[in-house]
Amino acid sequence: MGRSIQLFWSFLIFLTCVASEDCAECSDASSILHHKTMGRNVRPHHHHNHHHHPHHSHPRCRKPYPFIWDNDANYDDTLAFLYLAHSENLDWKAITIESDGMGTPHGGPTNIAAVAQLVGLGDVPIAMGGLSSLSPIATMPLQWRIETDEFFERQFESGILEMTDKAIVDETAPQLIVKILKESECPVVILTTGPATNVAEALDMDPSIAENIQGIYMMGSAYGVPGTNNVYDWQMTYNGVKGSCTEDGGQTYTGLSPPLLKDGVKSAIRPECRGVDMTAHGDTEWNVFMDVRAWRMVYGFLEPSPADVYVLAANATLNMPVTLDEMEEYASTLADEDLRVFVIELAKAFLAAGEAKWWDAQCAVVMDQVLSGKKIGVCSNWAEQKVTSVSLVWRSNLTDGELNPYGSIKDDEDAHAPPVDYCLDGNVTQMWEVYWPMVNQTG
Ligand SMILES: *[C@@H]1O[C@H](CO)[C@@H](O)[C@H](O)[C@H]1NC(C)=O
Ligand SMILES: *[C@@H]1O[C@H](CO)[C@@H](O)[C@H](O)[C@H]1NC(C)=O
Ligand SMILES: *[C@@H]1O[C@H](CO)[C@@H](O)[C@H](O)[C@H]1NC(C)=O
């Protein structure tokens, strides 16, 4: 009880802060927002060529920002959605689904469509992503992907979610992203909480759209803090079959590959992940690992753009595990009974998939706070304006302690990349203070 009153008060303060221009806690918020709406990029843009950005100086461009959410329909994306739906910073233009992430290509879009309906955003166009990663090596463990669909099906059966596909459009995800960025009078905010394939494909289809991105927020990478790799060897196995990471990058679809002959002389396939034990030698994070080339392309295409780039690195979320006790405790503060049940069931399913952290939901809250001018908040430590490269180099013959460079992101002055602000540490207390009251508006 004490906690809910405390939450209520923090929420009031939060609302006041968002609503008021001269609130002491947001003293620099209005100036940042002013710069944003005027399209002036305040950061030093060494060695970048600036083009003319007519859209940015448009006087009508102010909050809420046109917004595209690109995601892979995972449990943490769903947690992000419950929060984002109520943000006053966002004018929802599209939801694009990554087919090469956690959600299955067929299940992800309709699962998110059902959640969209639950949170009152059932009319936002949803587009399905291309079936393959641009650099296919591994997919999320197949078992987890199937279990995610099963979780959503149970919600349909119990009537908590309603099956729907009416918001799903004919365009592909990259086509829809291009269309929105070309047509939007005001610069668009993009949040990508998946492998970033759709955003990379959109930029590849029409690089000029980068001009109309105000900011892009990405969940991923093991940047900044050694040892934060979260791609593990045990995740490459399903039903005793090593199959999540193969030589030909298969498994992008949900079909099972035949058993690999681990010790058989005739096997053309190396054990583990192309011969590498990722637990011991990985230096990456799943959203990057699933499409390293997409991340590299996004950075490359954004180098000459006015977009502000923010990445929530794995370390920021290490102290934010999803735990059932905590979910039950906080879910009890939710007024809507269906929502309460949904959140708890979601936590159970998420926890059954091995490692469960707040990842995408944390990234969503950090984005929302940055858009409100509150850069230090749920993100408590930023490595700012880092020029970094995304490595495509794979090495499989590694000595003890040596890391496979593939999917690692490192400082590199010569990188073909924009300066990126990396969030490296998260504030759990603040996360709970702002997340739950916002979610409570559903129902
Ligand atoms: C990484 O996260 C931990 C908390 O999990 C924190 O103590 C540490 O300071 C973080 N590192 C950086 C560089 O922010
Ligand atoms: C692997 O590395 C070791 C030591 O660096 C070397 O002796 C060996 O020949 C390498 N094996 C292959 C297959 O490249
Ligand atoms: C984390 O957030 C809480 C509550 O908003 C705040 O009191 C505390 O100072 C923050 N801690 C850090 C390290 O920023």
pLDDT at 442: 84
The pLDDT of residue 276: 92
Q: Is 102 left (phi over 0), alpha (psi -120 to 50) or beta?
A: alpha
Give the distance (Å) from ligand 3 centre to CA of residue 316: 14
DSSP state of 187: P
Q: How far is the CA of 395 from the centre of ligand 3 (A)?
A: 41
- Whole-angstrom Cα distance, residue 280 to residue 231? 10
Q: Ligand 3 mean position to 320 CA, how many Å?
A: 14
Query: Is the sign of the CA dihedral 146, 175, 246, 290 positive or negative?
Result: negative
The protein residue with its alpha carbon nearest to ligand 1, atom 9, reads 425
Q: How many A from CA of 428 to the centre of ligand 3?
A: 8
Q: Which tens digits make up the pLDDT trace of 104-118? A: 999 999 999 999 999
- Pocket test of ligand 3: the residue of 26, 427, 428, 434 to mutate, having most ligand atoms within 8 Å of its CB, is 427
Task: Find the 429 Cα to ligand 3 centroid distance in Å.
Answer: 7
Assess contact for 221 and 284: CB atoms under 8 A: yes
- From the CA of 11, which ligand is nearest? 3
Contacts of 436 (CB under 8 A, 6+ apart): 7, 330, 333, 334
Partnered with residue 308 across adjacent β-strands are 215
Kind of pairing between the strands at 213-219 and 308-312: parallel
- What the block records as the tokens of 48 is 């970048």
State the closest ligand 3 atom to the C-alpha of 10, by its place in the atom list counted from 1: 5
Give the other-Cβ count within 10 Å of 393's Cβ.
10
What are the sequence ranges of the domains in the chain?
2-9+60-439
| Residue of 25, 369, 423, 429 with the most ligand 3 atoms within 8 Å of its CB, for mutation | 429
Determine which residue's CA is closest to atom 5 belonging to ligand 3.
Answer: 430
What number does the ligand 1 atom closest to the CA of 424 have?
Answer: 14
Homologous superfamily (CATH) of 2-9+60-439 is: Ribonucleoside hydrolase-like (3.90.245.10)
Point out the residues of the chain with pLDDT beneath 70. Answer: 1-59, 238-243, 246-269
Q: Whose atoms come closest to the Cα of 402: which ligand?
A: 2
User: Residue 59: is the preceding peptide bond cis (ω within 30°)?
Assistant: no
Collapsing DSSP to helix, strand or coil, 333 comes out as coil
Q: Is the distance from CB of 194 to CB of 104 less than 8 angstroms?
A: no
Distance from Cα 379 to the centre of ligand 3, integer Å? 10
What pLDDT is stored for residue 145 in this prediction? Answer: 87
d(CA 163, CA 111) in angstroms, rounded, equals 8
Atom 4 of ligand 3 has which residue's CA nearest to it? Answer: 430
Are the beta carbons of 372 and 89 closer than 8 angstroms?
Answer: yes
Q: How far is the CA of 231 from the centre of ligand 2 (A)?
A: 24
**Residue of the CA atom closest to atom 13 of ligand 1:** 424
pLDDT of residue 248: 65
pLDDT tens for 80-130 read: 999 999 999 999 999 999 999 999 999 999 999 999 999 999 999 999 998
In degrees, to the nearest 5, what angle opens at C-alpha 277 toward C-alphas 357 and 315?
30
The protein residue with its alpha carbon nearest to ligand 1, atom 7, reads 425
Q: Tell the residue nearest (CA) to atom 6 of ligand 1.
A: 425
Ordered DSSP codes for 74-98: -HHHHHHHHHHTT-TTEEEEEEEE-
Dist CA 235 CA 273 (whole Å):
10
Alpha-carbon gap, residue 433 to 171, rounded angstroms: 38
Report how far ligand 1's centroid is from the alpha carbon of 318 (Å). Answer: 8
Closest C-alpha to ligand 1, atom 4: 319
pLDDT of residue 143: 78
Looking at all shown ligands, the one closest to residue 383's CA atom is 1
Q: Which of 12, 80, 9, 10 is nearest to 343 (CA)?
A: 80
Sorted by sequence, the CB contacts under 8 Å of residue 343 that are 6+ apart come out as 79, 82, 327, 331, 334, 439
For 5-24, how does the pLDDT look when each residue is reduced to its tens digit (9 = 90+)? 444 444 444 444 333 333 33
Angle between helices 428-439 and 75-84 (to 10 degrees): 70
Q: Which DSSP category does 224 fall into?
A: S
Query: What would the two tokens of residue 347 be?
Result: 């936590």
d(CA 276, ligand 1 centre) in Å: 27
Q: What is the DSSP string of 249-309?
A: ---SSSPPPPPP-SS-TT--S-STBTTB-HHHH----HHHHTTHHHHHHHHHHHTTS--EE
Residue 242 confidence (pLDDT)? 61
Kindly report the protein residue whose alpha carbon is nearest to atom 14 of ligand 3: 380
How confident is the model at residue 249, as a pLDDT? Answer: 64
The DSSP element (H or E) to which 311 belongs, if any, is strand 308-312
